[in-house]
């Protein structure tokens, strides 16, 4: 299974390095969302700074679906995904490979958006919480990639892929979304404790990676 995962991960990374489609699309969209928030909600105010974490994750939730969509779109072009799905290899391995790749892409998007986020919302991370900040980003990205990778394949099988992925994925991601916002707020110094949220996010990640892994073979059937 790990061999398969490694092969799929390498393949997805290579494709992305060549085309940079997923990360650039997600990045641009995230920036647009943040900009729109700024204009719609009155620019530079203390409220905005307080809610900064929320804005970030909203932008991420929507732009993330673009990156996730790309993950299954590459498989549909030229039918390559079919050869992959039919290969007598462990479906769980295919899931893991794609999941790791998506997590990396999502984190790359986060890092790309970070400078803009810092500038627009005038936030800074207190030194002692930098580790928590990184953890919040990482766990959040994993939380999105875990069910997202699965649903991306499910949605790709429908007539309206662009609608189905967000529709399926966003309600399911509510716990992760709340937890991500709370943990990032904590990391930015906004609130005092977020122990519960970190734990929830961790549990969410573990539960959904496991569940998606087990169910993935059914999504690959034709």
Partner 1 sequence: MSAALACAGLTKRYGRVAALRAVDLSVTPGECVAIFGRNGAGKSTFLQIAGSLIRSYDGTVSIFGEDIKRASLETRRAVGFVLHDICLYSDLTVLDNLRFFARLYGVANPEARAIELLERVELGTRAASTIRELSRGMKQRAAIARALVHDPRLLLLDEPFTGLDEISSQSLATMLREFANHGGTVLMSTHDVERAYPVATRAVILERGALTYDRPTTEADLAEFRHAYWTVLFTGNTRGAPTPEPERPRA
Partner 2 sequence: MQTRRNAVLESALFMWMAVALVMVFFYAPIEKEQGIVQKIFYFHVPLAWNAFLGFLIVFVASFRYLATRDPKWDARAVAAAEVGVLFTTLVLITGPIWAKPTWGIWWTWDARLTLTFVLWLIYLGYLMLRRYVESPERRAVLSAIVGIIGFIDVPLVYFAIRWWRTQHPQPVLMGGQDSGLDPKMRATLMVCSATFLLLYTVMFRRRVAVERMKMLVDDLREQAEGARS
Residues that bind partner 1 in the complex, under the rule CB under 8 A: 3-4, 6-8, 10-11, 14-15, 18-19, 74, 77-80, 82-84, 86-89, 221-222
The dihedral built from the CA positions of residue 43, 45, 51 and 56, taken in this order, carries a sign that is positive
User: Shortest Cβ distance from residue 154 to partner 1 (Å)?
Assistant: 18
DSSP characters for 20-63? -HHHHHHHHHHHHHHHHHHHHTTSS-HHHHHTHHHHHHHHHHHH
Interface with partner 2, residue 215, by CB under 8 A: yes
Cα distances (angstroms) measured from residue 48 to each of 43, 122, 137: 8, 9, 20
168 interface partner picked from partner 1, partner 2, none, CB below 5 to 8 A per type: partner 2
Q: How many secondary structure helices (H) and strands (E) does the chain include?
A: 10, 0
Pick from 53, 41, 75: nearest CA to 149:
75
Q: Which residue has 């072009």 as its token pair?
A: 77
Nearer to partner 1, 10 or 196 (CB): 10
Q: Which is nearer to partner 1, 83 or 111 (CB)?
A: 83
Supply the Cα-derived Rg of the chain in whole angstroms. 18
Q: Residues 21, 31, 125, 175: which binds partner 2 (CB under 8 A)?
A: 175
Residue number, 52 or 91, with CB nearest to partner 1: 91
CB of 168 to partner 2, least distance (A): 4
User: What whole-number distance in Å separates Cα of residue 84 and Cα of residue 94?
Assistant: 8
Which of 156, 137, 58 is closest to 98 using CA atoms? 156
Q: Which does 158 bind (CB under 5 to 8 A by kind): partner 1, partner 2, none?
A: partner 2
- Residue 190 interacts with partner 2 (CB under 8 A): yes or no: no
Interface ranges with partner 2 (CB under 8 A): 147, 150, 154, 157-160, 163-164, 167-168, 170-172, 174-175, 178-179, 182, 196-197, 200, 203-204, 207-208, 211-212, 215, 218-219, 221-222
């Amino acid at each position: 299974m790990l061999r398969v995962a490694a092969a799929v991960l390498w393949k997805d990374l290579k494709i992305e390095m060549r085309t940079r489609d997923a990360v650039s699309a997600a990045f641009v969209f995230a920036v647009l969302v943040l900009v729109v928030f700024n204009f719609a909600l009155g620019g530079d105010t203390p409220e905005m700074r307080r809610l900064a974490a929320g804005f970030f994750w909203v932008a991420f939730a929507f732009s993330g679906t673009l990156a996730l969509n790309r993950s299954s779109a590459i498989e549909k072009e030229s039918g390559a995904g079919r050869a992959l799905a039919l290969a007598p290899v462990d479906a769980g391995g295919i899931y893991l490979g794609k999941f790791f790749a998506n997590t990396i892409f999502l984190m790359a998007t986060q890092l790309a958006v970070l400078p803009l986020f810092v500038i627009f919302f005038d936030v800074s991370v207190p030194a002692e919480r930098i580790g928590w900040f990184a953890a919040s980003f990482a766990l959040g990205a994993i939380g999105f990639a875990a069910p997202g990778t699965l649903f991306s394949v499910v949605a790709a099988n429908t007539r309206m892929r662009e609608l189905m992925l967000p529709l399926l994925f966003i309600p399911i991601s509510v716990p992760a979304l709340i937890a991500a916002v709370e943990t990032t707020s904590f990391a930015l110094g906004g609130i005092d404790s977020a122990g519960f949220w970190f734990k929830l996010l961790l549990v969410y990640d573990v539960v959904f990676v496991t569940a998606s892994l087990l169910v993935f073979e059914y999504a690959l059937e034709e």
